[in-house]
Amino acid sequence: MKILGRLKAIWVSFEFFTTVTVVIFLMRLFNSKQWQIRRAWAKMQSYLTGYDLEIVGKPDPDTELLLLNHQSLLDIIILDASFPKDICWVAKKEIADMPFFGQILTLPKMIIIDRESKKSLVKLVAQAKEKLQEGRVVAMFPEGTRGDGKKLLPFKMGAKLLASKLDLKIQPAVIVNTRQILDSLNFTAKSGRVKIIYLDPVYPKEDKEWFSKLHEKMQEVIDKETKGS
């Protein structure tokens, strides 16, 4: 089974590099259609990587900030494929700086953060405000990096600061099973079902403890979904 998982991971890697190259060229050619191009590519991944998507709950149409757990590259893909609005991801500078492939972030004008810079939080707030005015929804992984899919890492303060400074309506969501389908750390891949569970919206001004409570709530959902796995 490990050999099959590695072989599929090789196929997925080849497919990603090939199709992302095409997507970058298409976004450069059709600048006004970037969201549609990204969305079409993301939907195509369901067939090329072999996963099924189950959605529980609904995205709130007035959502301004999406907060999600993070475990796999597939997290971004399934949200881009299924979310009804143009998502502006908050991403690490290291990815955007990749030769050529970094354009998958820079061309659609994602928010690029340099974690080593003291000014990064100021930049995050300013750029998020700009993207929201353009009608986009800002999306963040408050853990800041990928976890194991079962235990949430501590939340970084950037998401809390952003939500509080701009008084944003937050939609939390829990992503389940993406690491089992595509595990880039162990370089394995397989077919299966992934799930997005949308939780009730959160309003930071209504509860000063919302950030810690959100961590607890998301962990409860993950515990329930991964019980026995």
Contact (Cβ atoms closer than 8 angstroms) between residue 5 and residue 188: yes
Sign of CA dihedral 96, 109, 124, 203: negative
Q: Are 81 and 41 in contact (CB under 8 A)?
A: no
CATH number, domain at 205? 3.40.1130
Its pTM surpasses 0.85: yes
Question: What domain range includes position 182?
Answer: 2-226
Q: Report DSSP state, residue 202.
A: B
Q: Residues 195-221: pLDDT tens digits?
A: 999 999 999 998 999 999 999 999 999
Cα separations in angstroms, 47 against 42, 56, 121, 184, 228: 10, 21, 38, 19, 28
pLDDT at 1: 63
Question: Cβ distance 147 to 141 under 8 Å?
Answer: no
Which residues are CB-contacts of 156 (< 8 A; sequence separation ≥ 6)?
A: 142, 143, 144
Residue 117 has a pLDDT of 81
Number of Cβ within 10 Å of residue 90's Cβ equals 23
| Residue 99: other Cβ atoms inside 10 A | 6
Question: How many domains is the chain partitioned into structurally?
Answer: 1
What are the pLDDT digits (tens) for 82-130? 999 999 999 999 999 999 999 999 999 999 998 778 788 899 999 999 9
Structure tokens at 153: 């890492």
Between CA 7 and CA 12 the distance in angstroms is 9
